[in-house]
Amino acid sequence: MEYRKLGNTALELSAITYGSFAIGGNMWGGNEKKDSIASVHASLDHGVTSIDTAPFYGFGLSEEMIGEAIKGKDRSKIQLLTKFGLVWDGSNQGKGEFFFDASENGKTIPVYKFASKANIIKELEESLKRLGTDYIDLLQIHWPDSTTAISETMEALEVLIQQGKIRAAGVCNYSVDQLKEASATLTLASNQVSYSMLNRSIEQDLVPYALENQTGIIAYSPMERGLLTGKYFTENTLKQDDHRNGYFSQFDLEKVKSLIATLAPVAQNKGVTVAQLVLRWTTLQPGITVVLAGARNASQSIANAQAMDINFTAEELILINNELSKL
């Protein structure tokens, strides 16, 4: 495994970081608890020291399972990354920005973006309890909240750093303009954004800004929620309540199929999967600090970690990038 410094902080994260959205259950068709716990343990056993989660994932369930999985382990060797700013329990008292309607057990649950100072403090205490720890390594706003001044959010994070409750502060899904506004109050460690072979828009403005300002980039959805594994084209067994049934429709699936056909022989020659090849390629892109990789079980966690063992030849990278230019 490779470990990388996050922005201008002292934090070092594993290049492959465990992404825990899927083990939360909601929007992913559910997952067995024992498999979820095993996936965290396998990640830690194979050099993945960083775990990214959020209160919204499973409405607290993801954080609780991670807390259970790391109980008794050396906390100093684990980096916990969590978030705030998505509220679903009505505690925002009608404030904030409506985001979307989620569902759980057939019940519709309105979700709001809400990042006031009071809410940040409240959410952090809840996350600390669920995770069974007394500090968070990186606390991030989950989505921008148009109803709360960015300066108020950043001031709250600065206070939490001074109190020692968080080691560093980051954001998710921020534009360059939002990063600039935030930087007037607080030096941010990172921006967590969507990035993949199929979605490279951040290369235009966000990557240059991050490189110039020593801001880490945490890439999520590198596999486009499983589409780039190629399994969707041969094993389309998504459950009815799996959000990916609609998510995949945004892509030109014939072009994606062609890309996977190009990647498959390269992966086969190296004795790895297409998914591992895609993960490794993503970690090598300029400006990308770490890449989030989800896992539902131990074998998937091990495969994700082993992706870092892949080395590309110059010819292979040219072949892959030529195919990407056709998308």
Give residue limits of the domains in the chain: 3-249+276-311
Question: Is residue 51 over pLDDT 60?
Answer: yes
**Amino acid, single-letter form, for residue 226:** G
16-19 and 50-52 strand pairing: parallel
Q: What is the reported pLDDT for 310?
A: 97
Catalytic residue list: 57
Residue 191 Rama label (left phi>0; alpha psi -120 to 50; beta) = beta
Chain segment 182-226, per-residue pLDDT in tens? 999 999 999 999 999 999 999 999 999 999 999 999 999 999 988
- Considering the chain, what is the average pLDDT of its residues? 92
Question: Is residue 29 over pLDDT 50?
Answer: no
Confidence tier at 28 by pLDDT (50, 70, 90): very low
H-type alpha helices, 132-252:
150-162, 176-183, 206-213, 244-247
Chain segment 253-293, per-residue pLDDT in tens? 888 889 999 999 999 999 999 999 999 999 999 999 999 99
Question: In terms of residues, how long is the chain?
Answer: 327
Question: Is residue 238 over pLDDT 70?
Answer: no
Q: What is the reported pLDDT for 205?
A: 97
246/69: higher pLDDT: 69
**3-249+276-311: which CATH architecture?**
Alpha-Beta Barrel (3.20)
Q: What is the reported pLDDT for 105?
A: 73
Chain segment 83-98, per-residue pLDDT in tens? 999 998 878 777 899 9
